[in-house]
C-alpha cells in the first residue's frame, strides 16, 4: 500500500507542476488557430494554421499589437466535435482573445457556444453550414460563404448548364456534408427527379455498394456533400464500376489531394468554390510570402489569413482585448483583406459570398464560370 502511496504522490506532483506550466503570461496576446491538424483532413488544418502563423509573424515584425507580442496557440480538433470542445476549453483556460477556426462545421458549431459564452471572438475561415451564425452569438463570424448559397449556386448551374432529368445525392452524414446536400436538394426542388438520397460512412474505404445502387437508378449526375478524401474514393470507385456520369460537389472537395487520390477519375468533376485568388491584386503579397514559407497556399489559407488580420486590426483599433468590443468593431467595419473587401451582416456572415463553379480539367481545378 505504501508503494502505491508513493506513486500517487509522484503523480500528484507531476499534475501540479504541469498546471504550473500553463500559467498566464500577461505580456502577450494569445490568438487561437484550430482545425484538423492530424488525420485525413490534416492538410486543411495545417493550411489554416500556417496562414494564421504568417499573419501573426507579420504583426510581430511591426511590433505586435497594443505593445504586446502576439502568440498563436494551435489546437488540433482532429475533425472531431468532442475534441473541438476540449480545444475550446483549452483556449479559454489560456485566456486567448480570439480564434481563427474551426474548419469543419461539425466542430465549429458545438465549439462556438463556448467561445461566445466566455467572451472570445471566433472567426471561422471555412465553416459553411448556415447554422453557425444563426445561433444568435454576437462574437461568432465567418469569412467564407454558406451552404445555402453554395447549394443554390450548384443547383442553378446544374439545372441551367447540365440539365439532367435524374439526380442522385449522397452525403457523409456530417453537419457540413448533409447540410450542403440538403440545401442542394431543396434548390433542385422538382425541376429534376432525385432518384437516390443517402449517407455514406466517413473513413470507410469501400463505397462500391452504394455506387452500384446509384448506377442502377440511372441518374445523369450525382451530387456529393462531403470532404475530399471520401470524394476522391467515390469518383475513383464510380469509374471502376463503369459509372460515367459527372460528380457535382462543394468547397470541401476543393483541394489538389482530391485529384491525387482519384487520378484520372477526377476529370470532369464540378466543384463550387470562391473565386481564384491568384488573379486578385490584393492577394499577391500574401501568396508570395506564403509560398516562401510553406509552399503553395491551400484553398482556405487566404480566408484564414484574412480572418487573423481582421482580429488583430480590431484589437489594435479598439485598443482592447475585450471580446464584446472587438466583436462590435468587426461587425461594423469593412476590412481590406487579401481576398478583397470584407464586411459582415448582422448574423456575422459576409455580405457578399461569391461562389463560382470550377471543374477538374487536365489534372487541375479550373474556373469555368
Partner 1 sequence: MFSQQLINGLALGAVYALIALGYTMVYGILQLINFAHGEVYMLGAYLGIIVLGLLTAAGLPAYSLALTLFLTVLVSMFFCAAYGAAIERVAYRPLRKAVKLAPLISAVGMSIILQNFVMLAQGKEYKNLSPLFPSEGFTVFGANVSPVQAFILSASILLMIVLNLFIAKTRIGKAMRATSQDRVMAGLVGININQVISVTFMIGSALAAVAGVMVTLYYGVAHFFMGYLAGIKAFTAAVLGGIGSIPGAMLGGFMLGLIENFGASYVSSVYKDAFAFLILIITLIIRPSGLLGQKSLDKG
**Is 215 among the residues that bind partner 1 (CB under 8 A)?**
yes
Identified binder of partner 1 from the candidate list 117, 156, 240, 345, rule CB under 8 A? 240
Closer of 208 and 289 to partner 1 (Cβ)? 208
DSSP 47-91: HHHHHHHHHHHHHHHTT-BTTBEEEEEEEE-TT-HHHHHHHHHHH
Neighbours of 169 (CB within 10 A): 23
- Least Cβ distance, residue 271 to partner 1 (angstroms): 18
User: Of 330, 324, 328, 326, whose CA–CA distance to 343 is shortest?
Assistant: 330
Residues 171-200: x/- map of binding to partner 1 (CB under 8 A)? --x------------------------xxx
Instruction: Tell me 276's DSSP state.
Output: P
Closer of 113 and 236 to partner 1 (Cβ)? 236
Closer of 112 and 237 to partner 1 (Cβ)? 237
**Is 236 among the residues that bind partner 1 (CB under 8 A)?**
yes
**Is 288 among the residues that bind partner 1 (CB under 8 A)?**
no
**Is 216 among the residues that bind partner 1 (CB under 8 A)?**
yes
**Is 322 among the residues that bind partner 1 (CB under 8 A)?**
no
User: Of 169, 163, 182, 303, whose CA–CA distance to 247 is shortest?
Assistant: 169
Contact 333, 369 (CB under 8 A): no
Which span sits near partner 1 by CB under 8 A: 36-44, 92-100, 159-167, 354-362?
36-44
Which span sits near partner 1 by CB under 8 A: 50-58, 62-70, 225-233, 333-341?
225-233
Q: How many angstroms separate the CA atoms of 19 and 35, rounded?
A: 24
In SS3 terms, 290-353 reads as HHHHHCCCCCCHHHHHHHHHHHHHHHHHHCCCCHHHHHHHHHHCCEEECCEEECECCCCCECCC
The footprint of partner 1 (CB under 8 A) covers 38-40, 42-43, 173, 198-201, 204-210, 212-213, 215-216, 229, 232-233, 236-237, 239-242, 257, 260-265
Amino acid at each position: 500500500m505504501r508503494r502505491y502511496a508513493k506513486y500517487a504522490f509522484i503523480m500528484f506532483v507531476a499534475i501540479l507542476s504541469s498546471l504550473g506550466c500553463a500559467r498566464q503570461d500577461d505580456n502577450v496576446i494569445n490568438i487561437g488557430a484550430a482545425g484538423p491538424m492530424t488525420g485525413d483532413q490534416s492538410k486543411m488544418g495545417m493550411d489554416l494554421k500556417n496562414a494564421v502563423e504568417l499573419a501573426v509573424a507579420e504583426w510581430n515584425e511591426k511590433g505586435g499589437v497594443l505593445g504586446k507580442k502576439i502568440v498563436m496557440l494551435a489546437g488540433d480538433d482532429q475533425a472531431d466535435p468532442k475534441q473541438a470542445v476540449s480545444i475550446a476549453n483549452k483556449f479559454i483556460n489560456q485566456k486567448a482573445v480570439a480564434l481563427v477556426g474551426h474548419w469543419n462545421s461539425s466542430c465549429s458549431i458545438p465549439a462556438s457556444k463556448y467561445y461566445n459564452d466566455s467572451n472570445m471572438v471566433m472567426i471561422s475561415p471555412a465553416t459553411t453550414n448556415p447554422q453557425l451564425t444563426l445561433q444568435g452569438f454576437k462574437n461568432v463570424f465567418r469569412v467564407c460563404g454558406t451552404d445555402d448559397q453554395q447549394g443554390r449556386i450548384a443547383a442553378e448551374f446544374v439545372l441551367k448548364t447540365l440539365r439532367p432529368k435524374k439526380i442522385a445525392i449522397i452525403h457523409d452524414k456530417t453537419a457540413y456534408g448533409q447540410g450542403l446536400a440538403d440545401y442542394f436538394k431543396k434548390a433542385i426542388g422538382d425541376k429534376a427527379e432525385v432518384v437516390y438520397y443517402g449517407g455514406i460512412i466517413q473513413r470507410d474505404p469501400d463505397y462500391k455498394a452504394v455506387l452500384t445502387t446509384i448506377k442502377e437508378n440511372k441518374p445523369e449526375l450525382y451530387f456529393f456533400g462531403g470532404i475530399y478524401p471520401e470524394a476522391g474514393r467515390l469518383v475513383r470507385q464510380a469509374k471502376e464500376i463503369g459509372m460515367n456520369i459527372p460528380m457535382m460537389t462543394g468547397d470541401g472537395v476543393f483541394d489538389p489531394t482530391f485529384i491525387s487520390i482519384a487520378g484520372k477519375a477526377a476529370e470532369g468533376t464540378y466543384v463550387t468554390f470562391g473565386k481564384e485568388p491568384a488573379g486578385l491584386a490584393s492577394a499577391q503579397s500574401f501568396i508570395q510570402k506564403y509560398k516562401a514559407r510553406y509552399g503553395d497556399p491551400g484553398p482556405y489559407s487566404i480566408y484564414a489569413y484574412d480572418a487573423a488580420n481582421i482580429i488583430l486590426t480590431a484589437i489594435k483599433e479598439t485598443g482592447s482585448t475585450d471580446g464584446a468590443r472587438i466583436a462590435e468593431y468587426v461587425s461594423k467595419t469593412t476590412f481590406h483583406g487579401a481576398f478583397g473587401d470584407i464586411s459582415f451582416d448582422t448574423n456575422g456572415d459576409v455580405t457578399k459570398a461569391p461562389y463560382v463553379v470550377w471543374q477538374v480539367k487536365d489534372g487541375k481545378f479550373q474556373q469555368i464560370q
